[in-house]
Amino acid sequence: MNKLLERLIEKNRYLVQYGQVASYIPKLKSANPEDIGICILDMEGNIYCSGVYNKKFTIQSISKVIALMLALVDNGEEEVFTRVGLESTDEPFNSFYKLDLSLENKPANPMINSGAIVTTSLIRGSYEEKFNKILNTIRKITNNNNIGYNKEVYESEKETGDRNRAIAYLLKNKGLLEGDVEEVLDVYFKQCSIELDLIDLAKIGLFLANGCKTLDGSYQGCNTEIATILIAVMTTCGMYDFSGEFAARVGIPSKSGVSGGILSVVPNKYGIGIYGPALDDHGNSIAGFGILKDLSNELGLNIFKICGRN
Amino acid sequence: MNKLLERLIEKNRYLVQYGQVASYIPKLKSANPEDIGICILDMEGNIYCSGVYNKKFTIQSISKVIALMLALVDNGEEEVFTRVGLESTDEPFNSFYKLDLSLENKPANPMINSGAIVTTSLIRGSYEEKFNKILNTIRKITNNNNIGYNKEVYESEKETGDRNRAIAYLLKNKGLLEGDVEEVLDVYFKQCSIELDLIDLAKIGLFLANGCKTLDGSYQGCNTEIATILIAVMTTCGMYDFSGEFAARVGIPSKSGVSGGILSVVPNKYGIGIYGPALDDHGNSIAGFGILKDLSNELGLNIFKICGRN
Amino acid sequence: MNKLLERLIEKNRYLVQYGQVASYIPKLKSANPEDIGICILDMEGNIYCSGVYNKKFTIQSISKVIALMLALVDNGEEEVFTRVGLESTDEPFNSFYKLDLSLENKPANPMINSGAIVTTSLIRGSYEEKFNKILNTIRKITNNNNIGYNKEVYESEKETGDRNRAIAYLLKNKGLLEGDVEEVLDVYFKQCSIELDLIDLAKIGLFLANGCKTLDGSYQGCNTEIATILIAVMTTCGMYDFSGEFAARVGIPSKSGVSGGILSVVPNKYGIGIYGPALDDHGNSIAGFGILKDLSNELGLNIFKICGRN
Amino acid sequence: MNKLLERLIEKNRYLVQYGQVASYIPKLKSANPEDIGICILDMEGNIYCSGVYNKKFTIQSISKVIALMLALVDNGEEEVFTRVGLESTDEPFNSFYKLDLSLENKPANPMINSGAIVTTSLIRGSYEEKFNKILNTIRKITNNNNIGYNKEVYESEKETGDRNRAIAYLLKNKGLLEGDVEEVLDVYFKQCSIELDLIDLAKIGLFLANGCKTLDGSYQGCNTEIATILIAVMTTCGMYDFSGEFAARVGIPSKSGVSGGILSVVPNKYGIGIYGPALDDHGNSIAGFGILKDLSNELGLNIFKICGRN
């Protein structure tokens, strides 16, 4: 397996030249596009890593999966999906014109910014408690209490977050968001700034692949119904406005972040963490996509693939 | 199994009151909303049917799956997906404003009208040959040469098809559609008017569940890669702007039609045909959705569900 | 003239039943829809008033005309119209989806909220100075130093202003707005809360009808070119998404406010102030429109009307 | 006057380099961008021409003014403006996405393609009669029976008119257009292909400036109310999505065509015809705009300008 991973990294390294590192905040801009890495954990507890896998990076949009899980646990499906939809969209992640047009009366799904701001707001507790719940959940999943958030990134997010503020105030105007907008956004910016490495990320993947339960059973995050929703939402909405093509080409439920991380889940089999900060036009790791496509093909991980009997 | 099917039909029959039969053409308007039926075929060739399963109905949008398969076989993925996307959308099936806005330079996916008109146009051959290819493919899949199209429905579609004409002329204006618009639409209206019963529909489902191959191996429609794409596209885009929620709630790759039919595929296991002409707001059979949700839960068919080991 | 005004008020009073008083803040909601009034000033200094004309009300969007004048004086046309357009729009006044879509790279015009927030921000000076400039300009035009702003309305605007916050943060994100968003909005909410009566409003009209100069020459607000732009913008954009129809039906350059006020200008002839808090669907005084239409017909004030020679 | 016109043509000739001749049909593409001309007619029957003024060109969108007049005469305002609005828009002339979105239930105004197709359809009579009415009206206005339509241009329009077909079929789908789409479009393409020179065009301008009456009283096209509407609509909507800026900068009611013609009306004073086939980004003659701006300034023709008394 390690050889395979190494090979796939090298095979897809050329893609970096066609991508761009995120540039809206200094910390992301300074990332090295050649720092590509991958970690895979299986259900027997084996761990396979290759490339640059122990560098920390911020999870960014990957945090949306955890926030959705907590919002669902705290409020139930009905309450959450009254305020945010379950539909994929062919719009960019930070688009919100449909809410102004009243084409939709709620954000399309919890994986785009508008939807994720709503789910974060729905986590029970004070703003401090909301964030602590997210952080502690990730610590419990990874069994790693050293995980924290990157203050520099958090402050940059806060400073450049005017589009998210616009989204949040429109959500508030439409009755989809309660409480203080700056406080909700503060939690949102902090959760995006949580920092971990690829082993941690693969552990989150395994936790999901195992039905929101750690391998050793020490932490059960949610029931099976919610776990199923998380996997489905990652499949249909996890890769921004490339989710449909990613489903057809790779078929591994995944969620990407603008830092270049991808959280991938092979149900009942693997948790995968990938890193590669050069992004494609949709905001997904360009090398990460290539590696996952090859991995899916070589190991037969595409959930839409017919096994065949001949 | 037959008892289960019977029970699920009766359990979900009450939903009919919350739906509406399609009313834009006389033939669909005259459908009896109580005519609910289901057929399931398994890989051993067993067939289980219940309710009103041997009445013929027109397949409407379900034909988009076959047209996509043929377009892919005739042109290859690259050629097809240059002209139509693979992204789900939270817009209604007959929306096309994004093409006018140049938000997108091609239809979002092949399961909405604009995308399907493109795929139909890409099937090789004269207009007559295009339609015959579609019809003959369905005959081969079902091993049923009695299948034809309903002339009354076809003529109604043609008469009321001005929105589809608008879509097609805009596609032509944007260089996405070649040839004569009325001729392409003629094929499109005819393919929507192909008439079959639930056993036929379940056979199409089984064909897809088996990797685009009939059980007896008499007909192989496409290779595994294309089959995977078909399953993925049905999952992410098959139920109009309810596809994401359907994926999360049911998790069975499906394609619905405005006549009330649903084609469902449980990869490697089942082909399912469902009928129930009362539709929900998205244009999907309202009882069909209820039955499929229950069926998925009771038989554990949701492809996003973690098996669990405890 | 007084008789005419009285007659037109009574003739159009029935329209009140088809309108609605603005209800988003308590003060506006408590307005009496029967409080209809009008004042006309001519170039000889004559003043004709009828109905409820000495009750104070807040000018709301009418302030956008003054803010535009000051922004133009402070920055010149080129600078201002780089950040806000001169085009009318068939969208509601608080719409801003096109900015998210990048259909337009600036607000359509300075009479919709997004455009007005930009012009207010362009007035030179600290936030306090910006507001004082607006208030003092109105005091100079009306020669009335008792004019101030209504604190209750200002605080209500501030409290319910989330949509304007969304607009302002999006403008900031797009580089069209500088400085602190809450501070700019504070000026904007205050200018909307400036309170005056119909004699004051008619004086503003006469000031514009006289080329931005008071009758006695005591105050010249801007040069002829800017005055022409103000009249043109009021004509094409002053009545929200009813501006075009208002131009065709009435033909008097006007700007309305959600409080029910209308500022009207008959170039070289009259300044008109109208009040009637019941609004039509576009947000314009419903009785005010009726009165102005009749007044335009009876006195031949429509600027698009051919005099005829027969 | 002739000297002035000559001077303004030469002064604005440099603008040609910043424009583009329309290229979607061969005839327009072959126009010489240096062929700039102007004709002005006054109420005393004087005629002043300069530059290339006796070359024929097709009127294109300028025909929308005549079609609107005839539709209003045949149906009355209420009937017409139920199907087409009176609002300017910041969208391009051939945009129609709002009709798909149901943001608007009718075209914004009769000067964009969607609105003009509706007004043409509303002219009473068979399709042949509709066109003949338009052509004969222009012949009567200009007292020139040699005016006809250019068959080559008409056939090119027909051939490349797929976007207009899309618009028309959507209008039909929405119940805004009756009859056969191709037949209506045939009239529309023909009316756009009517060919005349600048003296003819200036005569149309004078006819409008005189309240829809020829100078000699031989032909009265409509009553004063309709004439007022025509002038207002030209002012607010006549120059595509540049109408608002044109109103502020020039202030002369005008309607442009993609061939480079501009029909201008100074109420009670002048009829103006301008030609200059190089177009700006909005589709208006780029030199024509410059000339009209200068002419408006030098002769004080801006209808929004305050005369001033000092």
- Whole-angstrom distance, CA of residue B277 vs CA of residue B287: 8
Residue C133 designated active-site = no
Q: Closest Cα of chain A to B144: distance in Å?
A: 24
**CA distance to partner chain C, nearest, from residue B101 (Å):** 8
Question: 3-state SS of A113-135?
Answer: HHHHHHHHHHCCCCHHHHHHHHH
Contacts of B101 in chain C (CB under 8 A): 101, 103
pLDDT tens sequence across D82-113? 999 999 988 888 888 888 887 778 999 999 99
Contacting residues of B for D162, CB less than 8 Å apart: 169-170, 172-173, 181
**C256: pLDDT confidence band, cut at 50, 70 and 90?**
very high
Nearest residue of chain B to residue A249 (CA atoms) = B229
Looking at chain B from residue 65 to 124, which residues have their Cβ under 8 Å from any Cβ of chain C?
101, 103
**Side chain identity at residue A252, one-letter code:** I
In the numeric block, which tokens belong to residue B148?
A: 């034809």
What does the block give as tokens for B40?
Answer: 């399931």
**Chain pair B-D, CB pairs under 8 angstroms:** 49
Does D241 reside within a domain? yes
The predicted structure's pLDDT at residue B90: 84
How would DSSP label each residue in C162-200? Answer: HHHHHHHHHHHHTTS--S-HHHHHHHHHHHHTEEE-HHH
Q: With contact defined as beta carbons under 8 Å apart, do C14 and C174 qualify?
A: no
* D137 and D166 housed in the same domain: yes
Instruction: Enumerate residues 6+ apart whose C-beta is below 8 A from C13.
Output: C34, C36, C287
Q: CA of B101: which chain C residue's CA is closest?
A: C103
Name subunits touching D (3+ CB pairs < 8 A): A, B, C
Instruction: Kindly state the helix (H) or strand (E) to which residue B37 belongs, with its residue range.
Output: strand B37-42
Distance of alpha carbon A35 from alpha carbon D261, whole angstroms: 60
**8 A C-beta contact, residue B40 and residue B298:** no
d(CA C93, CA C257): 11
Q: At what angle do helices B63-83 and B198-209 cross, to 10 degrees?
A: 40
Shortest Cα–Cα distance, A144 to chain D (Å): 50
Does D241 contact C90 at a Cβ distance shorter than 8 Å?
no
Please state, as a whole number, how many other Cβ atoms lie within 10 Å of the Cβ of residue A246.
Answer: 27
**Quick count: other Cβ atoms within 10 Å of Cβ D146?**
10
pLDDT at residue D307, as a whole number: 79
- Whether residue D242 lies inside any domain: the answer is yes
**Residue B121, both tokens:** 């146009």
Nearest Cα to Cα of residue C289 among C250, C257, C259: C250
Percentage with pLDDT > 70 across chain D? 99
Instruction: Tell me, yes or no, whether D178 and D257 share the same domain.
Output: no
* C244 Cβ neighbours under 8 A, 6+ residues apart: C88, C90, C236, D85, D86, D87, D88, D109, D232, D233, D236, D237
Write down the H helix ranges in chain A: 2-12, 26-29, 63-83, 97-101, 113-122, 127-142, 151-159, 162-173, 181-192, 198-209, 224-237, 243-249, 286-299
pLDDT of residue D309: 47
Rounded-to-integer distance, Cα B284 and Cα C289, Å: 46
| D chain contacts of residue C211, beta-carbon cutoff 8 Å | 306, 308
Nearest residue on chain A to D101, judged by CA atoms?
Answer: A103
CATH number of the domain that B196 lies in? 3.40.710.10
Which tens digit of pLDDT belongs to each residue from C63-92? 999 999 999 999 999 999 999 999 998 888
Beta-carbon contacts of B26 under 8 Å, excluding residues fewer than 6 positions away, are B152, B156
- Give me the residues of D, 238-297, that contact C with CB < 8 A: 241-245, 247-248, 251, 253, 267-268
C240 is catalytic: yes
Tokens of D27: 């005839």
The answer to whether the Cβ–Cβ distance between A97 and C100 falls below 8 Å is yes
Tell me which chain B residues have a C-beta less than 8 angstroms from the C-beta of D159.
none
Candidate from B96, B100, B169 with C-beta closest to D162: B169
For C284-310, write each residue's pLDDT tens digit: 999 999 999 999 999 999 999 987 544
Element (H, E) at A49: strand A47-51
In contact, C230 and C212? CB cutoff 8 Å: yes
B165 close to D (CB below 8 A): yes
CA of A21 vs chain C CAs: smallest distance (Å)? 20
D36-74 pLDDT per residue, tens: 999 999 999 999 999 999 999 999 999 999 999 999 999
Neighbours of chain C (3+ CB pairs under 8 A): A, B, D
| Same domain as D113, residue D84 | yes
| Residue in the structure block whose two tokens are 């005829």 | C308
Choose the closest CB to A162 out of C95, C162, C173. C173
For residue D304, tell me if it sits in a domain: no
Mean pLDDT of all residues belonging to chain D: 95
Position B308 scores a pLDDT of 58
Measured in whole angstroms, the distance separating CA A303 from the mean position of its chain's CA atoms is 19
Give, as one character, the DSSP assignment of residue A145: T
What is the number of other CB atoms lying within 10 angstroms of the CB of residue B14?
10
What radius of gyration do chain D's Cα atoms show? Answer: 18
C103: which chain B residues are within 8 Å (Cβ-Cβ)? Answer: 101
Contacts of A among chains (3+ CB pairs under 8 A):
B, C, D
- Is A64 marked active-site? yes
Cβ C235–D304 below 8 Å, yes or no?
A: yes
Question: Are D163 and B169 within 8 A, CB to CB?
Answer: yes
Tell me if C230 sits within 8 A of D244, measured CB to CB.
no
- Please name the amino acid found at residue A233: V
Catalytic residue, chosen from C233, C258, C265, C266, is: C258
All residues of chain D having their beta carbon less than 8 Å from the beta carbon of residue C232 are 244, 247-248, 251, 304
pLDDT in tens, C197-215: 999 999 999 999 999 999 9
Alpha-carbon gap, residue C306 to D191, rounded angstroms: 27
Residues in Cβ contact with A99 at an 8 Å cutoff, skipping those fewer than 6 apart? A106, A107, A114, A170, A171, A174
Q: How confident is the model at residue B100 (pLDDT cuts 50, 70, 90)?
A: confident
Residue entry with tokens 């009321």: B160
State the best of A207, A236, A270 to mutate against chain B, taking most chain B CBs within 10 Å. A236
Total of domains in chain B = 1
From chain C, pick out residues whose CB is under 8 angstroms from the CB of A169: 162-163, 165-166, 169
Domain boundary among D177, D192, D207: D192
Closest residue in chain C to residue B102, using alpha carbons only: C103
* A98, A165, A170: residue with CB nearest C163: A170
Residues D104 and D187 in one domain: yes
Q: Are residues D116 and D83 in the same domain?
A: yes
Q: What is the pLDDT of residue D308?
A: 58
Chain A residues lying within 8 Å of B109, measured CB to CB = 244
> Coil, strand or helix: which one is A43?
coil
Extract the tokens encoding A105: 């009366």
Determine, yes or no, domain membership for A310: no
Question: Which of D258, D265, D275, D296 does the annotation list as catalytic?
Answer: D258
D179 and D66 in a single domain? The answer is yes
- What b/e readout covers A71-100, taking b as 16+ CB neighbours within 10 angstroms? bbbbbeeeebbebbbbbbbbbbbbbbbbbb
Mark whether D188 and D227 lie in a shared domain. Answer: no
Sign of the C-alpha dihedral, residues C59, C62, C68, C70? negative
**Pick from D97, D172, D181: CB nearest B97:** D97
Q: What is the pLDDT of residues A79-137, one digit of tens each?
A: 999 999 999 988 888 888 888 887 778 999 999 999 999 999 999 999 999 999 999 99
Closest-CA distance of chain B to residue C200, Å: 45
Nearest chain C CA: its distance from B233 CA (Å): 27
Residues of chain D with pLDDT under 50: 309-310
Nearest CA distance, C150 vs chain D (angstrom): 33
* Same domain flag for D175 and D132: yes
C-alpha span between D5 and A63 (Å, rounded) = 68
- Confirm whether D307 is domain-assigned: no
Q: Which residues of chain A have pLDDT under 50?
A: 309-310
pLDDT in tens, B3-54: 999 999 999 999 999 999 999 999 999 999 999 999 999 999 999 999 999 9
Q: Which residue intervals of chain D are DSSP H helices?
A: 2-12, 26-29, 63-75, 77-83, 97-101, 113-122, 127-142, 151-159, 162-173, 181-192, 198-209, 224-237, 243-249, 286-299
Residue C191 lies in a domain: yes
Write the residue in A95, A101, A173 that is nearest to C166 by C-beta: A173
Q: How far is CA C50 from the centre of its chain?
A: 21
Residues D220 and D142 in one domain: no
* Domain assignment of residue D306, yes or no: no
Q: Residue A58: its pLDDT value, please? A: 98
Of D175, D192, D209, which residue sits at a domain end? D192
Closest partner CB to C169 (pick from A100, A101, A162): A162
Going by C-beta distance under 8 Å and a sequence separation of 6 or more, which residues neighbour residue C46? Answer: none
Q: Collapsing DSSP states into helix, strand and coil, what is residue C244?
A: helix
Considering CB atoms only, which of C98, C100, C166 is closest to A169?
C166
Q: B282: domain range?
A: 2-299
Any domain includes C307? no
- D108: chain B residues, CB-CB within 8 Å: none
